[in-house]
A and B are shown apart, each in its own frame.
Chain A
Amino acid sequence: MKSIDLEAQGLRELNITLQAQSEKIEDDSWEIINPKGSHALAVGLNAPIEVAINGSTGYYTAGMNQQATVHVKGSAGPGVAENMMSGKVLIDGDASQYAGATGQGGLLVIKGNASSRCGISMKGINIVVGGSIGHMAAFMGQSGNLVVCGDAGDALGDSCYEARFFVRGSVKSLGADCEKKEMRPEHLEILKELLDEAGMDAKPEEFTRYGSARNLYNFDVDNAGAY
Chain B
Amino acid sequence: MKQHDKNGIPHTTPRQSATFTQDVNSDIRRAAATGIYDIRGGGAKRKVPHFDDLLFLGASISRYPLEGYREKCTTNVTLGTRFAENPIELDIPITIAGMSFGALSGQAKEALGRGASAAGTSTTTGDGGMTPEERGHSNKLVYQYLPSRYGMNPNDLRKADAIEVVVGQGAKPGGGGMLLGQKISDRVAHMRNLPKGIDQRSACRHPDWTGPDDLEIKILELREITNWKVPIYIKVAGARPYYDTTLAVKAGADVIVLDGMQGGTAATQDVFIEHVGQPTLAIIRSAVQALQDMGMHRKVQLIISGGIRSGADVAKAMALGADAVAIGTAALIALGDNDPKWESEYNDLGTTAGAYDDWHEGQDPAGITTQDPELMKRFDPVEGGRRLRNYLKVMTLEAQTIARACGKNSMHNLEPEDLVSLTVEAAAMAGVPLSGTDWIPGQLKY
Residues in A lying within 8 Å of B, measured CB to CB? 11-12, 15-16, 19, 39-40, 43-44, 46, 58-60, 63-64, 66, 78-79, 82-83, 85, 97-98, 101-102, 104, 117, 120-121, 123-124, 139-140, 142-143, 159, 161-162, 217-219, 221, 224
Residues in B lying within 8 Å of A, measured CB to CB? 34-36, 148-149, 152-154, 157, 181, 192-195, 197-199, 201, 203, 207-209, 214, 217-218, 220-221, 224-228
| Distance (whole angstroms) from the CB of B84 to the closest CB of chain A | 15
Q: Which chain A positions have C-beta within 8 A of B208?
A: 60, 78-79, 82, 97-98, 101-102, 120
Check B193 against A79 for contact (C-beta < 8 Å).
no
| Distance (whole angstroms) from the CB of A141 to the closest CB of chain B | 10
| Distance (whole angstroms) from the CB of B396 to the closest CB of chain A | 37
A66→B158 CA distance, assembly (Å): 14
Q: Which chain B positions have C-beta within 8 A of A217?
A: 181, 195, 198-199
Q: A161-B194, A162-B195, A217-B199 are in contact. Are A120 and B207 (CB under 8 A)?
A: yes
Majority-rule SS of A interface residues: loop
A224→B34 CA distance, assembly (Å): 12
Q: Which residue of the partner chain, among B192, B194, B201, B225, contacts A63 with CB atoms under 8 Å?
A: B225
20 more contacts with CB within 8 A, not counting A44-B154, A139-B207, are A15-B225, A40-B220, A59-B217, A60-B218, A64-B154, A66-B154, A79-B208, A82-B207, A83-B152, A102-B152, A120-B208, A121-B148, A121-B149, A121-B203, A123-B149, A140-B207, A143-B193, A161-B198, A162-B194, A162-B195
Q: Which residue of the partner chain, among B34, B194, B207, B226, contacts A98 with CB atoms under 8 Å?
A: B207
Number of A-B residue pairs having CB atoms within 8 Å of each other in the complex: 102
Check A44 against B152 for contact (C-beta < 8 Å).
no
| B34 to chain A: closest residue by CB | A221
A120→B210 CA distance, assembly (Å): 14
| A102 to chain B: closest residue by CB | B149
Q: Which residue of the partner chain, among B35, B157, B194, B226, contacts A142 with CB atoms under 8 Å?
A: B194
Q: Which chain A positions have C-beta within 8 A of B193?
A: 104, 123-124, 142-143
Check B220 against A39 for contact (C-beta < 8 Å).
yes
Q: Which chain A positions have C-beta within 8 A of B153?
A: 64, 83, 85, 104
Q: Which chain A positions have C-beta within 8 A of B194?
A: 142, 161-162
Check A224 against B217 for contact (C-beta < 8 Å).
no
Q: Which residue of the partner chain, among A11, A82, A161, A221, contacts B35 with CB atoms under 8 Å?
A: A221
Q: Which chain B positions have C-beta within 8 A of A44?
A: 154, 224-226
Q: Which chain B positions have C-beta within 8 A of A98?
A: 207-208
A43→B157 CA distance, assembly (Å): 13
Q: A46-B154, A98-B207, A124-B193 are in contact. Are A218 and B181 (CB under 8 A)?
A: yes
Q: Which chain A positions have C-beta within 8 A of B201?
A: 140, 159
A124→B151 CA distance, assembly (Å): 12
Q: Which residue of the partner chain, among B157, B203, B207, B224, contacts A15 with CB atoms under 8 Å?
A: B224
| Distance (whole angstroms) from the CB of A158 to the closest CB of chain B | 11
Q: A16-B227, A121-B148, A217-B195 are in contact. Are A63 and B221 (CB under 8 A)?
A: yes
Q: A79-B209, A82-B208, A161-B194 are in contact. Are A219 and B224 (CB under 8 A)?
A: no
A221→B34 CA distance, assembly (Å): 8
| Distance (whole angstroms) from the CB of B196 to the closest CB of chain A | 11
Check A161 against B195 for contact (C-beta < 8 Å).
yes
Q: A79-B209, A102-B149 are in contact. Are A40 and B195 (CB under 8 A)?
A: no
A19→B181 CA distance, assembly (Å): 39
Q: A85-B153, A123-B193 are in contact. Are A39 and B207 (CB under 8 A)?
A: no
Lowest 4 CB-CB distances: which A-B pairs, in order? A221-B35, A44-B225, A79-B208, A217-B198
Q: Which chain B positions have C-beta within 8 A of A78?
A: 208-209, 214
Q: Which chain A positions have C-beta within 8 A of B36?
A: 219, 221, 224
Q: Which chain A positions have C-beta within 8 A of B224?
A: 11-12, 15, 40, 43-44
Check B217 against A60 for contact (C-beta < 8 Å).
yes
| B219 to chain A: closest residue by CB | A40
Check A219 against B199 for contact (C-beta < 8 Å).
yes
Q: Which chain A positions have C-beta within 8 A of B198?
A: 161, 217-218
A78→B218 CA distance, assembly (Å): 11
Selected A-B contacts with CB under 8 Å, 11 pairs: A15-B225, A39-B217, A64-B157, A79-B209, A83-B152, A102-B149, A121-B148, A123-B193, A140-B207, A142-B192, A217-B181
Q: A79-B209, A218-B181 are in contact. Are A43 and B199 (CB under 8 A)?
A: no
| Distance (whole angstroms) from the CB of B361 to the closest CB of chain A | 13
